[in-house]
Structure 1
Amino acid sequence: MKQKELLGNIEHVIRQQCHDDDIKQIVYDSRKATPDSLFVCVPGEKVDGHDYAKEAITNGAKTLVVEKTVELYSGINIIKVNSARQAMAQIASKFYGNPSAKLNVIGVTGTNGKTTITYLLRNIFEASQQKTGVIGTINNWVGNEKITTERTTPEAPDFQQLLKTMLAEGVKTCLMEVSSHSLSLNRVDATSFQVGLFTNLTEDHLDFHPDMEHYYKAKKKLFAMTRKANVINADDPFGARMIKELESNEMTTISYGITEGGNLDLRAMDITMDFKGVHFIAKGLGMNHSISLPIPGKFSIYNALAAIAASRVMDIPQNNIVNALEKTKGIPGRFQRIDEFKDFGVIIDYAHTKDALENVLKSIRQFAGGRIITVFGCGGDRDTGKRSKMGKASGELSDYSILTSDNPRSEDPNNILQMIESGVKSTGGKYAIIENRKEAIRKAILMADKNDIILIAGKGHETTQTIGDKTDHFDDYEVALDVAREEKII
């Protein structure tokens, strides 16, 4: 594709024009530059792409997109733009043929629930014989082909290429988690969404966002990119604010929730919950159906309502929705029960914020026949403010807390544990500190009595643990089973 066609309406200045060759690839990593590629010099948090322009050229790049002044390399086209990230997203979309315009893209954003909702939607759409793609935290999927993912939302060139691959493979609907990072860093610019879905907003990622207002405004960007409807959780305070602020928007806004009163478009009524799942009647948007979802917890009702609302916007028949939800199997690391334990329960969950941990613990309390024993930690090199808050939540809502390592990364694990401990201490709750995560899980299993529930929180689906500069295989689900076998419990 020619440079002029790729640049389109992007505001730019040609600093140097040496050729009119076809551009054969868009790259932002100098190591992946190939002959006749276009290299976008993206300033990053730790490294600056402008410093790697020469390496990209050595590897074959013939065109540079920059936002800073760089050397005028011989034979290289140099295009200056106001924002390399914004330009990269628009260039990538154009290069791959604007694939989102030919797909039904449903974007899910919010602090909690994104992964579960995309998986529920996948089940619903495939039950209606629609081939789907999924982009998210656990894995990316093109139909039944699993693709390993490095981040929740890929960088723009990788994202647009993935959408093009989905089109080529006959995918009709793409269900994707849209992170606040991706919205702030322009990864999904130049993307057309049929539906935008907002789950909730609680304290998270404040190592990246300066405050909650910045976090909220990043999430809100998605809802200016939709073509069919915006689906919002009206029971969440930020969701209620979002609905009000979208009133002036010409796009249809659909509200869902469980709170009585108010003018909700979709509501859950007659709710019951137990260890096996949730049961409710979904009313609104053409629904008046009893639903049994085999995933426990109040939050599961909200996730189901979100999936129902988005499905109805896309004209999925009511019975297909109900049947797909009721056949849903457990989602890795999302309130995932380990069925091999018989005398007491063991649940793996990704809860890594105060709000998520509170929601999971409150849900467990509704059906726990004995004590709740919670094993958790907090990630290193991330938001430090949530550590004591998570400790406080566990101290208040658990009968016993076991503080351990999550992914300490470059931080001293003991410093992280001390921060969490301050929150637990403030509640007077019982706790132990065991830095080794496997041994922490072992203690929980050995101390559990009949009808107790063990919650292993924080890592969920993750299969590695990073301590210092070393990353080793570690899967909470596998470790819990390994310990139980070592102790001859199962």
Structure 2
Amino acid sequence: MRLSVLLNGLTDETIPDIEIKSMTNNSQQLVAGCLFLAEQGIHSHGLDYLSDADCRKIGAIVYQTGYDISRFSNYRHKMIGVDKLNEKVSAIAKRFYQPQLGQALIGVTGTNGKTSVTNFIAQLSGYGVIGTMGYGDIKHLNELSHTTPDALSVQKILAELSSYCDGVAMEVSSHALALHRVASVAFSVAVFTNLSQDHLDFHHDMADYFAAKSKLFAFASVNTAVINGDDDYGYRLAKTAEKNGKRALVFGQDERVKHFAEYVAVSNVKLSAQGISATLSVHLADYQGTEQLQTPVWGRFNVDNVLAAALALYATGQSLSDLLRKASALHGVNGRIEPIDLGANTIAIIDYSHTPDALDNVLASLREHTDNKIYTVFGCGGDRDKKKRPLMAEAVNRSADIGIITDDNPRTENAADIIADILTGDIDKSRFEVIGNRRDAIRFALQQLSSGDMVLIAGKGHETYQIIGTEKTHFSDHEVVREWLAEQER
């Protein structure tokens, strides 16, 4: 593609008349004749990493203005400055990769539940996914480093997925929205799951966090908003969406969901070892009636997640009744309230819950399954929101019998300092143990179980690594449980 086409309307500078066959924003992936996009990041600029040899190799350099380019005087003929390039990379990449999907693109945002909703969408429809667990079809996922990749990678992945998936459901993080990673992604349907404290190391406060999430619903391409009306932020968002002329499909158990033109009211929620069920009072533009939801996944909150997935697909033109029937064949998501039968009437639950609200919800659901003891192994990530650490302990204190505090990706922080922060919560410390080594903590919890007891192993879910310092080493909660179980069976 000609460079002039890629940058049309994005800069007033002279654009070299050259053909671009590849592009990158990673200085370690440069190839001869490529286009290098040099953005201003949070801590550095893309031009910081270019050597003379790199500049000789590159076909053209598009850089974010405001950077002193005097050291690049020999390569000025290759350089094109673009104001606010980081806001325009998505458009440039879309022009280059030209993703073409046959079905509506669905974006899912919220603090908790994004992975489950996108996974349920994929199970119900054959959609591909992009998110925390990777991208691709759900049986063959490619690893990602971020929930929502950078702007260039998003468009490249969408183009790849369009070759074998009709539609895509994407997890859209608040970081992605704040940093313009999805600025030119043509979402048709936007889903809001819930909002609770997280990422306040990045966002100034909850208002800033909500403002970032809300951006998805302001996209001109979004025609339908699927929103959890039980959530206070969701209720506000649904009101705004309706006011702005968007179709709002609101669901929940609170009576206020009936304030909207189109809604699904949830009642009679029941949990069992076989899964969850609920009665749905449906009031949509083309269908009013009563439906039953019956699905073999655990967790009261999964009523919301399954319903969000079904309504998102309904918004693309599929039959809600058919989708709810298909929900009877859903399976749980790896590392999301995932039960492992330990024998002797004991169960381990592996879950990704790493926010206070997620822990509250998972523990509340587990409490409905047992009157016996619930042990909870948990920790908090290093170099992340410190304010939520004591709140995590308080969530465990409310609904679990015993909390076992351990390491969970301490990164460059001192693990003991993280645990000390957790212990500042308003908790009964006599019901908490501290075992820093995560393997030892899990094994300790498993050894305590008596008939009818459960252990929740929280925070990592599907992850297969532990980050200590800057080094990522292999670690799997699943493997620790299964190794322990194999030892008991010998």
Q: Per the shorter chain, which TM-score range?
A: over 0.9
Q: Does the Cα contact within 8 Å between 1:380 and 1:409 map onto a contact in 2? A: yes
The answer to whether residue 198 in structure 2 is matched with residue 204 in structure 1 is yes
The answer to whether residue 317 in structure 2 is matched with residue 315 in structure 1 is yes
Q: Does the Cα contact within 8 Å between 2:36 and 2:58 map onto a contact in 1? A: no
2 CA distance for matches of 1:364 and 1:386? 22
Correspondence list, 1:271-286, <5 A: 271-284=269-282, 285=284, 286=287
Secondary structure, counterpart of 1:338 in structure 2 = strand
Q: Aligned-pair distance for 1:367? A: 1.5
Cα deviation digits, residues 384-403 of structure 1 (max 9, x gap)? 11001101111121110000
The answer to whether residue 406 in structure 2 is matched with residue 412 in structure 1 is no
Q: Tell me the residue number matched to 1:349.
A: 351
2 CA distance for matches of 1:357 and 1:145? 29
Q: Does the Cα contact within 8 Å between 2:64 and 2:86 map onto a contact in 1? A: no
Q: Aligned-pair distance for 1:157? A: 1.4
1 CA distance for matches of 2:438 and 2:114? 26
Secondary structure, counterpart of 2:243 in structure 1 = coil
1 CA distance for matches of 2:56 and 2:394? 54
Q: Aligned-pair distance for 1:251? A: 1.8
The answer to whether residue 26 in structure 2 is matched with residue 29 in structure 1 is yes
Q: Does the Cα contact within 8 Å between 1:35 and 1:62 map onto a contact in 2? A: no
Q: Does the Cα contact within 8 Å between 1:375 and 1:440 map onto a contact in 2? A: yes
Secondary structure, counterpart of 1:283 in structure 2 = strand
Q: Tell me the residue number matched to 1:295.
A: 297
Cα deviation digits, residues 438-488 of structure 1 (max 9, x gap)? 1111111111111011000011110000112332211111111112333x1
2 CA distance for matches of 1:489 and 1:43? 56
Question: Which one of 353, 361, 364 corresponds to residue 363 of structure 2?
Answer: 361
Question: Which one of 172, 180, 184 corresponds to residue 186 of structure 1?
Answer: 180
1 CA distance for matches of 2:290 and 2:476? 40
Q: Tell me the residue number matched to 2:74.
A: 73
Q: Which moved more, 1:433-442 or 1:145-154?
A: 145-154
Q: Does the Cα contact within 8 Å between 1:335 and 1:349 map onto a contact in 2? A: yes
Q: Aligned-pair distance for 1:214? A: 1.1
Q: Does the Cα contact within 8 Å between 2:296 and 2:331 map onto a contact in 1? A: yes
Correspondence list, 1:199-348, <5 A: 199-225=193-219, 226-263=221-258, 265-284=263-282, 285=284, 286=287, 288-348=290-350
Secondary structure, counterpart of 2:75 in structure 1 = coil
Q: Which runs of 5+ in 2 are unaligned?
A: none
2 CA distance for matches of 1:316 and 1:473? 41
Q: Tell me the residue number matched to 1:108.
A: 108
Q: TM-score, normalised by structure 1?
A: 0.93
User: Quick one: which amino acid aligns to residue 362 of structure 2?
Assistant: V
Cα deviation digits, residues 415-436 of structure 1 (max 9, x gap)? 111111221x634550110001
User: Quick one: which amino acid aligns to residue 274 of structure 1?
Assistant: S
2 CA distance for matches of 1:324 and 1:297? 18
1 CA distance for matches of 2:470 and 2:50? 27
2 CA distance for matches of 1:206 and 1:276? 37
Aligned residues: 478
User: Quick one: which amino acid aligns to residue 110 of structure 1?
Assistant: G
Q: Does the Cα contact within 8 Å between 1:50 and 1:66 map onto a contact in 2? A: no
Cα deviation digits, residues 195-245 of structure 1 (max 9, x gap)? 000011100011111111111111111112233301111110100111122
Q: Does the Cα contact within 8 Å between 1:31 and 1:59 map onto a contact in 2? A: no
Q: Which runs of 5+ in 1 are unaligned?
A: 127-131
Q: Does the Cα contact within 8 Å between 1:42 and 1:85 map onto a contact in 2? A: yes
Q: Tell me the residue number matched to 2:446.
A: 445
Cα deviation digits, residues 328-364 of structure 1 (max 9, x gap)? 1121110000134442111001010011101111111
1 CA distance for matches of 2:351 and 2:431? 21
Q: Aligned-pair distance for 1:261? A: 4.9
Secondary structure, counterpart of 1:364 in structure 2 = helix
Q: Which moved more, 1:75-84 or 1:369-378?
A: 75-84
Q: Does the Cα contact within 8 Å between 1:140 and 1:148 map onto a contact in 2? A: yes
Q: Tell me the residue number matched to 2:391.
A: 389
Secondary structure, counterpart of 1:298 in structure 2 = coil
Secondary structure, counterpart of 1:13 in structure 2 = coil
Q: Does the Cα contact within 8 Å between 1:258 and 1:268 map onto a contact in 2? A: yes
Return closer, same or farther for 1:489/1:237 CA change in 2, 3 Å cut-off: farther
Cα deviation digits, residues 234-260 of structure 1 (max 9, x gap)? 110100111122233122111111123
Cα deviation digits, residues 41-90 of structure 1 (max 9, x gap)? 11223432121244642443423232223133336432222212112111
CA RMSD across the alignment: 1.9
Q: Aligned-pair distance for 1:142? A: 4.2
Return closer, same or farther for 1:377/1:474 CA change in 2, 3 Å cut-off: same
User: Quick one: which amino acid aligns to residue 439 of structure 1?
Assistant: D
User: Quick one: which amino acid aligns to residue 268 of structure 1?
Assistant: V
Return closer, same or farther for 1:84/1:44 CA change in 2, 3 Å cut-off: same
1 CA distance for matches of 2:103 and 2:8? 22
Cα deviation digits, residues 368-399 of structure 1 (max 9, x gap)? 13111000000001111100110111112111
Secondary structure, counterpart of 2:74 in structure 1 = coil
The percent identity for this pair of structures is 35
1 CA distance for matches of 2:250 and 2:476? 37
